[in-house]
Structure 1
Amino acid sequence: MSKSLKADLMLMLVTLCWGVSYILMNVCLGEIGPLTLNAYRFLIAFFAALILAFPKLKNVNKATLRYSAMIGLALALVYISVTYGVMYTSLSNAGFLCALTVIITPVLTFYIKKEAPNKKLIAVLIMCLIGIGLMTLNEQLKPALGDVLCILCAFIYAVDLMLVDKAVHKEEVNAFQLGVYQLGFTGLYMFVLSIVLETPVLPSKPSIWAAMLFLAIFCTGVAFIVQVIAQQYTSATHVGVIFALEPVFAAIAAFFFAGERLLPRAYIGALLMLAGIIILEVDFKSIVNKKIASNDLRIDNSDNFKD
């Protein structure tokens, strides 16, 4: 298995965690303010990683810290947008609209790095865009406040992917340290905002604690560290396409745990997006060439046998 494929599988696992995170955020927001919730989840994730991997984190250079601070700021804006977005739209819509990153990332890549996507990627992007449209647009085409915030989240996260892509390909930046310290900076920004704009409180119910800890450990700590490490072996645009699976996982979680139901066309959209991911990941040309080469080899062997 190639490093690129391993990275993509790791990113799919990250996407699964984020798909589940919408319903967990919705549970926590019934008792904790949005900024406070994000402060808790990022700071818990940071200190857990610091305790578990302190020897690998104690010697950090300025370049890694500088990029961690920038990416942490982008993440803070992403999570402010999505957390407030979840409060003012459905769980399914939040997941789907945040997935617009898949469209925005290659546009930014082309604008900033002048890297035009290949024909296969363009086809997959079109499939994902149609899929997202089928899953999100209603008859009135009227976005709620939460929808607008989630679209803003998608744009800022595309910027975040570009920053991570730039950082992890610099020799002086340690990808693992970057993955951990970005959590610390994000948590710090959120904590300051929560003190200024909210009254921080601790959860009072075991169910809220459980949801918050799962958000902190798996959906934040593990997910963002894995993303940064995996992104060394793939492109920001590729990551954006894989993250298009997030609304599919969000819809599945909302279906089973929150009782949300989608229109039939929305499920068609989900299947279209899944098909796009499969097309992106499978090298059909290589498979066909290997098949042709195998057939030619059998024919040659058969001819030699006859001779």
Structure 2
Amino acid sequence: MRILVCGAGGQVGHELVDRAAAFGLDVLGPTRAQLDVSKPEQIAALMRQRPELIINAAAYTHVDNAETHAEQAYAVNLDGARNLAEAAAHAGIPLLHISTDYVFSGDASAPYRETDGTGPTGVYGASKLAGEEAIRACLESHLILRTSWVYGVHGHNFVKTMLRLGRQRDALGVVSDQFGCPTQAGRIASVLLTLASRYARDGRLDWGLYHYSGSPSCSWYDFAVEIFRQGEAMGLLARQPQVSPILTAQYPTPARRPAWSVLDCSRFETTFGLPPQPWQDDLSEVLAALGGQVSPQITPGQLSRA
């Protein structure tokens, strides 16, 4: 089956393109320079190659810049999502779409379920939520996958930032009062490709809205400490810097981050038999790849329940 991967140059998109063949899928993988999802005519040109399923990994993800570039954020996250859903509806094919924990306010104390009320605190989350709503309005055969704290080998992310700072500084402070679930980009890609290959086999999926992330939850501080611990053990750092926990108020940003970004993934696991995986193990694979030791490749057999 041929799939169209939008946003192929991003963290998850890159992994989708790299891993598709292992799942028996033929992939069209245009980058942002080759496909601007906010332009329907560019989507229409690619649809002439007759993909049988679309995976949308294209997004405006710069949370802080979105506050002052709302038009750009909505062009990609809302208009782009709508354009792809309309193109899928016209072609009679499904759309798998990646969304975010930022659709929630972050004021909860229990993991967010798909049925919980949303309340984004910034432009990024609001634009992604609007994209979800646009997809639901015009395409029945869709699957929206909300995830959180994405990191990986490609692109800019927290893990690579921490490694850079760990090499430059002897000490640093990391926010300890924001909680979420780090999720490896390659893991997200492999999960989506598993669903795509099941659709190719069965001609159907249980469509709808789902949550999927790494496990368990932690703070940014906890995440950083583990990055440095593993980084030193693998020789990516000469020594671990001293890490101090700080409060969000001590590290102001243009956009307010949710204090609680923990997602309940039980619906996804029950429906598809794909449980969340320990983020510490997935982190090890990414660090090994960044160190040139091994390329992380999560195969179809590694995704099902033991």
TM-score, normalization: structure 2?
Answer: 0.30
- Compare the two structures and name the one with the higher helix fraction: 1
Higher relative contact order (Cα pairs below 8 Å, separated by 6+ residues): 1
